[in-house]
């Protein structure tokens, strides 16, 4: 089963977190994960993916316009499991608002939205993981756990 991680990154921090999430997802058996920038989408992989995780830096309290533009024109994500993550320069920088805005886009596209919430216990991941810059040790671990949880849910739903 394929899982795509689609992100936009200006400084490399969001890309680093995408790679951590991919690392966590690959812990699940029979999962193939590909992390890709919105500027270099592998359309064949994305079409075959059962889950798509979107990531963005927080810019002016929301997510990057580059990802928004891609989502507005994308036609191949409906029916897939979707999840989000965000990076920010500091605590209180609007990352949760950015995540909620991405979730709204996914709902409009007809995606199934999942974060694991409190259902899988500690650490609780409400909307999606947030990392300050590329994350401290705890944030990095949470990103890996998130990837694994999304992969397990995708396997449960689509295998």
- The per-residue pLDDT for 159 is 87
- Tally the domains of the chain: 1
Q: Which of 75, 74, 83, 80 has its CA nearest to residue 38?
A: 74
- In percent, the amount of the chain with pLDDT more than 70 equals 100
pTM for the complete prediction?
A: 0.97
- In percent, the amount of the chain with pLDDT more than 90 equals 96
CATH number of domain containing 35: 3.40.50.360
- The per-residue pLDDT for 102 is 98
What is the domain extent for residue 115?
Answer: 2-158
Q: What would the two tokens of residue 84 be? A: 């989000």
Determine the longest span between alpha carbons in the chain, in angstroms.
39
- The per-residue pLDDT for 75 is 87
In the numeric block, the tokens 């993550």 are attached to 85
pLDDT bracket for residue 93 (50, 70, 90): confident
Condensed to tens digits (0 to 9), the pLDDT of residues 109-158 reads 999 999 999 999 999 999 999 999 999 999 999 999 999 999 999 999 99
């Amino acid at each position: 089963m394929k899982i795509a991680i689609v992100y936009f990154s200006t400084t490399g921090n969001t890309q680093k977190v995408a790679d951590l999430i991919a690392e966590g997802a690959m812990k699940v058996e029979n999962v193939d994960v590909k992390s890709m920038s919105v500027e270099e989408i592998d359309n064949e992989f994305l079409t075959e993916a059962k889950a798509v995780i979107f990531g963005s830096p927080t810019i002016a309290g929301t997510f990057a316009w580059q990802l928004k533009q891609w989502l507005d024109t994308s036609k191949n994500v409906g029916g897939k499991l979707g999840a989000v993550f965000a990076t920010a320069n500091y605590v209180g920088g609007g990352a949760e608002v950015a995540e909620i805005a991405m979730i709204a886009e996914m709902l409009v596209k007809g995606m199934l939205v999942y974060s694991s919430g409190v259902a899988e216990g500690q650490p609780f991941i409400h909307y999606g993981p947030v990392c300050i810059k590329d994350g401290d040790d705890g944030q990095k671990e949470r990103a890996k756990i998130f990837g694994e949880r999304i992969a397990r849910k995708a396997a449960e739903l689509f295998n």
